Amino acid sequence: MLVEDLPTPALWADADALGSNLATMAAAWPGTRLRPHVKAHKCTSLAREQASRGHTAFTCATPAEVLGLARAGLGDDILLANQCLDPGRLEAMAHSGARVTVAVDSEATIAAAAMAGIAEVLIEVRVGFRCGCAVGQAGPLAATARRLGLGVRGVMGYEGHAMGLTQRSERERLTAGAMERLAEAHEAVGGEIVSGGGTGTWDINHWVTELQAGSYVLMDTAYSAQDQPFVQGLFISATVISVAPGYAVCDAGLKALGMDHGNPTIEGAEIIYCADEHTAFVPDTPVRVGDRITVIPAHIDPTMAKHPVLHVAQRGEVVDTWEIDLRHW
């Protein structure tokens, strides 16, 4: 089957771009120095591609991702880089057969993990604008965790406020400030792990012992605006379903695209707006009803979560179809 034969809207990845991105990151962050964040792709088949390149430790955002990796035999070392208070989900992770570490940032999250049988934690430190404890709380929280029988492997922190900035010097400045705080917390906590970073700081953040990059695998227009060696590999094939004077409409809209980073891109066209099932655009050259167009998502993570499968294509031919099996919670 060819990409142009897929029912639309169809999510597909360019196999050559994917291979190039995986190789570039593996060369820079070999083995378990990279802990790929599966929230970006939510796909065990793609996780296996990462593991085949030596990246056998993974980062997850949801218990469903943790449990899915465990069932797929990818449970050597899984980090839930998120707080969880649900006893059922915590117990399921604790008894999954995988080595599961969870992020904690309060006495409540520590107590929930210990009660559910979780064995190991990282103390998450607030270095940006997400979860995490204050730097001064990290040491006491680590002591609480150890007192309850938990192994404290170290600290994590995410400099998300720096991640998407296009100006490298500003990313460098904000990352340095964030990691100084994380290093101070690590001194109080101890442990072998300092975990953090992402695609936007993959070649800037040299403070962490492991990098939690995810989007690099297939990229999106938000990260492509930076000076990155990773190439765009994720696309949506859409069909022109209506043509009006001055604009056209395709069949990929909000329900097919992650829109939190803005409009998608159609090369050779200007996007007017996206609706539930439609994107209206002004093409540089005329299009006809039935024409196929390629839409480039602005944000990989929520876009992947909207589709049940990812088609893998090479030079226009579909060579594999992967279930996006780590969606939901």
- Closest to 237 in 3D by CA, of 1, 3, 16, 2: 3
pTM across the whole model: 0.96
Tokens coding 244: 């009006």
CATH code: domain 3-11+231-323 is 2.40.37.20
pLDDT at 129: 86
pLDDT of residue 318: 98
Q: Which residues are registered as beta bridge partners of 311?
A: 12, 321
Identify whether the C-beta of residue 15 lies closer than 8 Å to the C-beta of residue 312. Answer: yes
Domain with CATH 2.40.37.20 in the chain: 3-11+231-323
Report which of 102, 112, 192 is spatially closest to residue 154, judged by C-alpha positions. 192
DSSP string, 203-238: TT--S-SEE---GGGT--HHHHTS--S----EEEEE
What is the topology classification, in CATH, of domain 16-218?
Answer: TIM Barrel (3.20.20)
- Residue 265 backbone dihedrals phi, psi, to 5 degrees: -125, 135
* Integer angstrom CA distances of residue 43 from 59, 98, 266, 276: 13, 17, 25, 25
- Give the pair of three-digit tokens for residue 40: 């970006």
- Boundaries of CATH 3.20.20.10 in the chain? 16-218
What is the pLDDT tens value at each position of the chain, 329 positions in all? 999 999 999 999 999 999 999 999 999 999 999 999 999 999 999 999 999 999 999 999 999 999 999 999 999 999 999 999 999 999 999 999 999 999 999 999 999 999 999 999 999 999 998 899 999 999 999 999 999 999 999 999 999 999 999 999 999 999 999 999 999 999 999 999 999 999 999 999 999 999 999 999 999 998 988 999 999 999 999 999 999 999 999 999 999 999 999 999 999 999 999 999 999 999 999 999 999 999 999 999 999 999 999 999 999 999 999 999 999 99
> Angle 135-147/107-116 helices, nearest 10 degrees?
30
